[in-house]
Amino acid sequence: MPAQSGSFFAAAGSRQVTLERPGPALPKGAQVLFYPDSPGQVKVSSLQAVTDDGASLRLRMERDTSAGPLQKLTGLLVMTGPGGSQAVEVEVPVITQAPAAPGFTAALLLAFVGGLILNLMPCVLPVISLKVLSFMRQGEKQGKGSARHGLLFALGVLVSFWIIAGVLVGLRAGGRFLGWGFQFQAPAIVVVTGVLFFLIGLNLFGVFEVGTVLTRLGGVSRGKRGGAASFLSGMFATAVATPCTAPFMGAALGYALTHSLEASFGVFSALAIGMAAPSLLLSVVPGLVSRLPKPGPWMETFRQVMAFPMMAAAVWMVSVLAASAGASAVILILGAMLAAGMGAWVWGRWGAISRRGAVRAAAGSLAILLAIGGTAVAAGLVPATARVGSIDGTWETWSQARVDELRQKGTPVFLDFTAKWCLTCQVNEKVALDNPSVRDRFQKAGVATLRADWTDSNDAIARALAGFGRASVPLYVFYPRGAKEPVILPELITPGMVLASID
C-alpha cells in the first residue's frame, strides 16, 4: 500500500530530490536506498546521501531533469539493518523547493535581528511599552534589583521560546508539520487568548486590580513586583508575539525546524535573546532609563492608553474566530468575555483590601467562577476543527497540483501563504495584495494568484512551507513565466515590492 501523506514528504530543487521520513532514528549501521518505479524521477546510478538526526531521516538523490517538472515520487524505499530488510512503498507529491537555506551562523543572525524587530510588531509593542513603563516607575532604584528583573524577564522569554521549540520539534518527529503560531489553529486557544486580552485591558483601565496575576503579565503595576512577575512578563510577551512574524524570522525558523535538535534550540534561543535585548539593556544600563521622561501622573494615563491596543487585540481574536469557526463561535467568545467582565467588575467592586475578609473571599470566588468558568465553557463548545473562510474571488485556492499545472503551461504564478490569525499577513493583504495597482498588474501580466490559507491545520500547506525552507506565514512566492526557480518576497511587503517582482 502506498505510504500515507503523514509518513513521507518530498521536495525537489533544480538538481536534487529530497525524500524525508519523520520518526525514530535508524539502527546503527542501517542502509537506505530508494528505487523509483518509473523513469524520469531520479538518476538511479547516482549517489544517494542519507542523513539521520534522530528526528527525521532524509535521503538526497540526484534529479533526472530530462523529464521536466517532477510532480510525484513513487517507488520502493528499502531499509536494511541488523534485524533484516524492510521495504516501504512510497507515493508522495513533490514540492518545488526554494534555493538553499541559510547556514547555521546566518540563521542565528537572522533570528537575533528578527527578535529585535519583533518588539515593534503590533502584537508585542503594547506589552514591551508597559515593561519600559515599569522600569520608569522604579526611577532611582536602578541597580542590582533592576538588573535582576531584566534578567528574569529575559529568562521568561527564553524559556517560552524553548517550550515552543520543544513542542514543534517533538510534533515534527511524530510526523506532524506545524510552524510558528500553530496554536491559533485551535479555536479553543483563540477563545482563551481573546478573553485574556480583554481582561488585561480591563485591568489596565483600572476596573479591577489583582497585583500578582494579570497586572504582572502586562508588565506594570502600581505596587512592588517580585521576580516571578518579571519572569511571567517575559512569558506573556512571547505568547502575544506568536501571531506575528517579523522580517528575517521566516528563513531562520525554516532552518531551525529542518535541521538538528541543537540547531533548532540555537536558532530559537537567538530569536529569544533578540526579543529580550532592549528590555535587558534598559535594566542593566541605568543611564538609559535616566534619559526617558520623568515619572509622573502622565504614567497613569499612559497605562490606560495601553489598554486600547489590548482591547483591539481582543477584537482581532473575535474576527479570527469568526473567519475560522463561524458565527456560533463568535457568540461563544463574546459570552465568555461578558462573563469575564462581570467577574472583573465583582472583584473590582468588592475585592478591595479595605473590605472584610469574608466579603473579599466571596467576591474572589465569584469572580474566578465567572471568568474561568465562562471561558472554559466557551472553549469547550467551540468547534474543534476550524472552518476556513472563503477565498477572495480574485484568488484561487492553492494546491500543489494546480501550481504544477499552471507552471507547465508557462503561466506566471503568485502564491500567498497566509492565515486569519497572522496579523502580519492581514496587514500585507490590505496594504499590498489588495492594492488596485497590484491587482491590475496581476491581471495585465496574466499572473495566476493562488492563496494557501493555513488558518486551520493543513499538512499539505505545512509541507509546502517546509519545501520553501519556511515554518511560518506569511510567505510570498512568485514563479515568473518559464522560470525554474521562484522569487521569494520578504515577510513584510509593499505594493512596490510585488510590482518589482512581476516586472
Indicate the helix (H) or strand (E) that contains 215: helix 214-218
The secondary structure of 455-479 as a DSSP string is SS--HHHHHHHHHTT-SSS-EEEEE
- Residue recorded with cell 484568488: 395
Q: What is the pLDDT of residue 236?
A: 82
- Structural contact between residues 211 and 218, judged by C-beta atoms closer than 8 angstroms: no
pLDDT tens string 67-90: 666 778 888 888 887 777 888 888
pLDDT tens string 418-468: 988 888 888 899 999 999 999 999 999 999 999 999 888 888 888 888 888
Fold of 396-502: Glutaredoxin (3.40.30)
Domain spanning 9-96, CATH architecture = Sandwich (2.60)
Q: What is the pLDDT of residue 492?
A: 86
Q: What is the pLDDT of residue 247?
A: 76
Q: Do domains 9-96 and 396-502 have the same CATH topology?
A: no
User: 278-300 burial string, b = 16+ CB within 10 Å, else e?
Assistant: bbbebbbeeeebeeeeeeeeebe
Q: What is the pLDDT of residue 224?
A: 44
Q: What is the pLDDT of residue 385?
A: 58
Q: What is the pLDDT of residue 393?
A: 64
Q: What is the pLDDT of residue 68?
A: 65
- Distance of alpha carbon 112 from alpha carbon 249, whole angstroms: 9
Across the chain, which has 503 residues, the per-10-residue mean pLDDT values are 53 78 73 86 80 75 74 85 82 68 82 88 72 63 66 91 88 70 84 91 84 44 57 83 76 78 90 90 76 76 85 89 86 96 93 84 93 94 63 80 89 93 87 92 93 86 84 90 82 89 81
- Distance of alpha carbon 238 from alpha carbon 253, whole angstroms: 15
- Domain locations in the chain? 9-96, 104-316, 396-502
